């Protein structure tokens, strides 16, 4: 996935690869491969762990912000974070997708850019990793709307880091996909833009990978 290389470009000279080595997460050569977006499974695993670690650092700051704008919401989120059982996780997901949370979250992200340029830089990294995870889920579960959403979120970063082919043809791709015949759109929304070779979950793959395999 070319976007993994874009993440590496964003983080070059940030000290992230050195941090992975310092934490004994991987060796120096492996860290450079991850920054280059090589070795899909390792790259995804590394960025997921880093994202989790950054959220652990950022969460107290988010709580402080919510104390100022919505104390009740802050208390509800804090209570849900105390448990990791399936029901509480489902409740957490539901709450995080509400407008009541999304609006202060957008304002919090905007405040990072104003108050702390370094935090804004790392927030961009967290955003990029989140986009990759959304795209991966869309590809594995056959979620067409999420696929288009994640790909659209990638485009500004392709332009920023001069991935000309991805930026140019990605724009064309989105335009074409927004004008699909109704019958094809319906099939894609059923997940039939990918290949599913078993009844298990999270296992769909792109047709080109099936043909090349």
Is 82 in contact with 92 (CB distance < 8 Å)?
Answer: no
pLDDT in tens, the chain (213 residues): 789 999 999 999 999 999 999 999 999 999 999 999 999 999 999 999 999 999 999 989 999 999 999 999 899 888 877 776 777 778 888 888 889 889 999 999 998 888 788 989 999 999 999 999 999 999 988 999 999 999 999 999 999 999 999 999 999 999 999 999 999 999 999 988 887 666 666 556 564 444 344
Q: E strands of 62-138, at which residues?
A: none
Cα 40 to Cα 4, 13, 136, 179, 182, distances in angstroms: 8, 21, 11, 32, 34
pLDDT of residue 202: 55
The DSSP secondary structure of 52-83, one letter per residue, reads HHHHHHHHHHHHHHHHHH-HHHHHHHHHHHT-
135-211-194 Cα angle (round to 5): 35
pLDDT of residue 137: 92
Quote the tokens at residue 211.
């043909």
pLDDT of residue 92: 81
Is 155 in contact with 128 (CB distance < 8 Å)?
Answer: no
> Chain-centre distance of CA 151, in angstroms?
11
Please provide the distance, in angstroms rounded to a whole number, between the alpha carbons at the two ends of the chain.
Answer: 17
Domain count along the chain: 1
Q: State which residues form the domain around 55.
A: 2-212
Where does residue 179 rank: exposed (0-12), middle (13-18), buried (19+ CB within 10 A)?
exposed
Packing angle between helix 86-96 and helix 71-81, nearest 10 degrees? 150
Whole-prediction pTM: 0.87
């Amino acid at each position: 996935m070319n976007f993994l290389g874009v993440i590496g470009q964003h983080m070059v000279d940030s000290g992230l690869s050195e941090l992975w080595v310092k934490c004994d997460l991987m060796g120096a050569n492996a860290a450079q491969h991850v920054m280059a977006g090589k070795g899909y499974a390792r790259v995804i695993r590394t960025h997921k762990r880093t994202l989790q670690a950054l959220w652990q650092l950022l969460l107290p700051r988010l709580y402080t912000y919510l104390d100022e704008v919505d104390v009740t919401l802050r208390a509800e989120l804090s209570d849900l974070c105390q448990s990791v059982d399936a029901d509480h996780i489902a409740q957490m997901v539901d709450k995080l997708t509400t407008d009541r949370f999304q609006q202060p979250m957008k304002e919090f992200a905007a405040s990072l850019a104003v108050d702390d340029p370094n935090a804004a830089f790392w927030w961009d990294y967290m955003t990029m990793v989140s986009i990759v995870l959304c795209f991966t889920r869309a590809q594995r579960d056959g979620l067409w709307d999420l696929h288009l959403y994640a790909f659209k979120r990638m485009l500004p970063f392709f332009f920023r880091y001069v991935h000309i082919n991805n930026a140019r043809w990605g724009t064309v791709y989105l335009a074409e996909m927004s004008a699909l015949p109704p019958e094809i759109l319906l099939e894609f929304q059923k997940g039939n833009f990918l290949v599913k070779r078993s009844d298990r979950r999270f296992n769909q793959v792109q047709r080109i990978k099936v043909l090349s395999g």
